[in-house]
Structure 1
């Protein structure tokens, strides 16, 4: 699949997609930080609060690939993505604003949370799929880097809202990200028609060539069977690698506070701040690793980044101090950016057709969200055996599995000569 996109269009669409993702993630990050206290007013069990907060990830595993697949088969004068965003983002914004107003009743709060998670998960892969729709394969890494940077900045935005507004204006605080979401979808509706994208035009040509105008959507079942039956195995290995590295990444974020308390003797507050500088390291590294990937190859840069992540975990195990851990987490985040910026691009570029790019975005999300579910439990079980002082080494071992999977993909792709930009 070869798509060509003028440079000016690449920059413009990257900005609009980054804007949409920034608005979406602003609501998600405030949701993650401020909804648990609302639940705490009704529920004393930390496990139940965690289960309710994990509801959005569970929904995402099922909804996102399905909605990505639905959008792939949509044909309108606005294209196949924008109609879903124009409808979904305002509804999600309204539901998000209602969350603190529903906090007086636990059933109403949970119902509102479910509604927001259902709608917001529905359009998340659709916005991200605009990148491969508009951007040529060889330039997708830098476009995706801009999107990841925008997503990372929302952590800072949510922290600032929590710090300066949530105590005095608990309900108004939820309105700020919602307004950002409404403003971004208005800009998208005004300025973007993905019916003009190279991928959409290619999909229409495939529809006409295959005489599929009455049923342009490739069924999700057929996409999965194609991946599973492919003797090359590259696409399946990529999804498994996303699951493996996602497990290491999410475990490193969710267990690090306990690590600081148990292995480093830090207070809860101090231990909770161990990962803060690493967020800045991720933002600083995201665009450079995209440029390196486009020059030296995405799989090589991904392998190098994961190696850096694993080495940083070993370093943190050897230098077991708060300062050493902060340095290790910063180096690890910089290495992780190579994977998080480029791996979705690898999967997009392995897609056999422009008609399934949204579905492949959803499959990436399944692997990543699956890692968010399995990783903390898996690594937590390893800690039960090895002890908290070896947590970072356990993370390095899980990362090694992802390295082996990507290395196998690299070997398989070296045997090919089809020009894919990997």
Structure 2
């Protein structure tokens, strides 16, 4: 009978930490800063580019499609870039050259977005930024696996996602304080932050990468019997070798949840202007309270997930996410929408700190964690590519007033997927 879970060799790299093993807080801090750097740009991009597209498109479905297509680049680039970064992880420079070079190049098309005076120029900037930024995005997220032991990665993800929530705060503040005054300045601030923060992270952590003790290299037993993969497609084939494999089901769940979260982020500013009567800058700040709630609760959620198990924690998070959407639909006002974003953000926090760690724990060897991050990116990028278009189409068929209800219906599918997955593999993703 074909097993549903990865074979025995995968148990070693995903084992719990030994007694007395401590979290490398210094490494977590600098990796969190690196992730903060890139997410600051993405959050502002998701908040303001849809409104830029409304100058040329009146259909929410078309706007959602354009916002989704930019994420699809990761489906094609991430497997190769992630696999290449796995080969660099144990060299003197580590994965850092991919991150630093990618960030410098991505800055140019992003900063040019508000200067685009016609649709072709705007699309060129949007596509150019998305293609480059998506290529190194997963590599930055994989950095934590190079410095933190497997059993501590859920906790580390909690700190990292706390940093990510701060980017939502920063994005919201830029929207509130700068967008209505100078759009050109507003689009210049996030990439400047990205370059500065990544430079600091590299200086204090990446520059000394060769001195770091990579967690899986600490014991010889962890490398015995591990399989070697020569291409990213070999890793993908191994991961999806059976239609009932937990890896495939987990990727489906990631696809669904990432799609609805991306759709909400992409369409929240137009929702605020169309339904709540806010200005563009005010609507861009609707996510600020949710970001603060995320920041306050993400660390307790990360520690609780170690006891509850990653999959169960994600399932409960989806339920809270749906509850938040229903609150916003039933109470269509600024306070109601803020309450909705707080609850939904807390539900998303449970997903954010656990999804990648759960997928890493299904990897057959620690030497392909960058490629498994690419699998996460394939699932999430596919959802981000289709989610905004799907939700936008339902808005065209109904109205902006029903956006949150439509999203709740689709999130129900996500809940069903995680429910099935949690019941099938309760032990594989528990700490």
Q: TM-score range by the shorter chain?
A: 0.7 to 0.9
- For residues 19-53 of structure 1, the C-alpha deviation after alignment (integer angstroms, 9 at most, x for no partner) is 1111112233344455567777xx63356776655
Per-residue deviation, residues 212-269 of structure 1 (Å, max 9, x unmatched): 9xxx75422212211222475111111000111223323334455666677xx63244
C-alpha distance in 2, partners of 1:258/1:75? 42
* CA distance in structure 2 between the aligned counterparts of 1:35 and 1:233, rounded to whole angstroms: 37
| Map of 1:131 onto structure 2 | 144
| Cα drift, residue 142 of structure 1 | 2.2
Structure-1 residue corresponding to 2:6: none
Distance 1:276 1:163 in 2: 10
Instruction: Supply the distance in 2 between the matched residues of 1:169 and 1:380 (Cα, whole angstroms).
Output: 28
1:218–1:355: 8 Å Cα contact kept in structure 2?
no
Provide, for residues 302-326 of structure 1, a one-character-per-residue CA deviation record: whole Å limited to 9, x for no partner: 2222122223334445556554443
Structure 1 residues 328 and 27 mapped into 2: Cα distance closer, same or farther (>3 Å)?
A: closer
SS at match of 1:78: coil
Q: 1:306 aligns with which of 318, 321, 342?
A: 318
Give unpaired runs (5+ residues) of structure 1: none
Find the counterpart in structure 1 of residue 277 from structure 2: 267
Aligned to 1:220: 232
Structure 1 pair 200–120 and aligned structure 2 pair: CA distance change class (3 A):
farther
Q: Which residue of 1 aligns with 2:217?
A: 201
1:401 maps to which residue?
413
Match of 1:71 in 2: 85
CA contact (8 A) 2:271 2:400 kept: yes
Partner of 1:246: 258
Residue correspondence of structure 1 range 14-413 to structure 2 within 5 A: 14-33=28-47, 44-46=56-58, 53-74=67-88, 77-97=91-111, 103=116, 110-165=123-178, 171=184, 173-190=186-203, 191-192=205-206, 193-194=208-209, 196-198=212-214, 201=217, 218-230=230-242, 233-255=245-267, 266-269=276-279, 274-319=286-331, 322-382=334-394, 391-413=403-425
Unaligned stretches of 5+ residues in structure 2: 1-12
Corresponding residue pairs, total:
410
Deviations 1:87-121 (A, max 9, x none): 32233335544555x63676566545444332222
Task: Determine if the alignment matches structure 1 residue 12 to structure 2 residue 26.
Answer: yes
Q: Secondary structure at the match of 1:229?
A: coil
Tell me the CA shift for residue 356 of structure 1. Answer: 1.4
**Greater relative contact order (Cα 8 A, min sep 6): structure 1 or 2?**
2
The CA deviation at 1:365 is: 2.0
Superposition deviation, residue 368 in structure 1: 1.9
Distance change (3 Å), C-alpha of 1:274 and 1:90:
closer
CA distance change for structure 1 residues 164 and 144 in 2, over 3 Å: closer, same or farther? same
Q: Partners in 2 of 1:356 and 1:310 — Cα distance? A: 34
- Alpha-carbon distance, 1:402 to partner: 1.7
In 2, Cα distance between the equivalents of 1:314 and 1:149?
25
Is the 8 Å Cα contact of residues 69 and 218 (structure 1) preserved in structure 2? no
Gap change, CA 1:241 and 1:88, over 3 Å in 2: same
Question: SS of the residue aligned with 2:144?
Answer: helix
User: For the aligned residues, what is the CA RMSD?
Assistant: 3.8
Task: Measure, in 2, the Cα distance between the counterparts of 1:256 and 1:170.
Answer: 18
- Cα distance in 2 for partners of 1:273, 1:249 equals 16
SS in 1 for 2:425: helix
The 2-side partners of 1:157 and 1:276 are apart by: 9
Contact conserved, 2:103 with 2:194, CA < 8 A, in 1? yes
